[in-house]
Amino acid sequence: MDLSKKVAFVTGAARGIGKEIALVLASYGADIVAADLLKEELLQTVDAIAALDRNGIAVTLDVSQNSQVENAFNKAMDTFGRLDILVNAAGVQPSVKFEDMPEDVWDKNMDVNAKGTYLCCKAAVNRMKNNGNGKIINISSQASKIGEIGNGSYGCSKAAVNLLTQVLALEAAPYNINVNAICPGLIDTKMLQNNFVQIGKRDGLDPKQVRENLENSVPLKRLGSPKEVGDLVAFLASDKSDYITGISITIAGGTTLF
């Protein structure tokens, strides 16, 4: 897959899935706008992009704030002059049962996961129109397709991402912009490891036991890797996926078979 001469804007690029996506896209030749709130780790991502002999810039961004989103996309255009790919990987995932869920936890999930995706998609489409093409990949979750204890607000926010993806795919089609979502399952990231601790506290289990139980729940009996998600993103960002739009692809080792 050749992404040379392409410019990709990746949110949540400081760590985890977002960082790996940025590096995978760079490895296929794309220049990267790496966006996140975590400044120091974001600079490490940009250094890693440079080590791949690609151009990268760091943009500090709270995706739930429209003014910051617009400023970030303006910086991307000022630096590279074009935008070809958007990956919405910024996200939060507190694990709280509905009966114990504070209102601000619900709001945080919706603000970052759903509203942040909407704001970045809107900013990207308005700039991709001039290209006559573009690729948008929204990182959703298997929790958007199947109920999970403790993931109510998170799952609802990601279900919103899936429907937004379908609607935007239809609305952006006249501009030859493809819009798809990826729904990862259990991917071995720091966020997931933090969830092992949260779930352990909730259920009275050691985090190692939580991990083992979750691995055993996956038909392939392992966690996924961030690079496996990154490679799928690269495919959807390439010209090999030009006739694919409006779908939500699950990558979860068989946990959710649709």
The string of DSSP letters for 46-79 reads HHHHHHTT--EEEEE--TT-HHHHHHHHHHHHHH
Q: Do residues 90 and 63 lie in contact, with contact meaning Cβ atoms separated by under 8 Å?
A: yes
CA distance 118 to 214: 31
Q: What is the arrangement of strands in the sheet containing 134-139, beginning at the earlier edge strand?
A: 56-60, 31-36, 7-11, 85-88, 134-139, 177-184, 248-251
Q: Is 98 exposed, middle or buried (0-12, 13-18, 19+ CB in 10 A)?
A: exposed
CA atoms of 7 and 29, how far apart (whole Å): 9
The distance from CA 71 to its chain's CA centroid, rounded to whole angstroms, is: 20
Task: Let me know if 154 is a catalytic residue.
Answer: yes
Catalytic-labelled residue, pool 118, 154, 175, 243:
154
Amino acid at 24: V
Q: What is the CA radius of gyration of the chain?
A: 17
As annotated, the active-site residues are 154
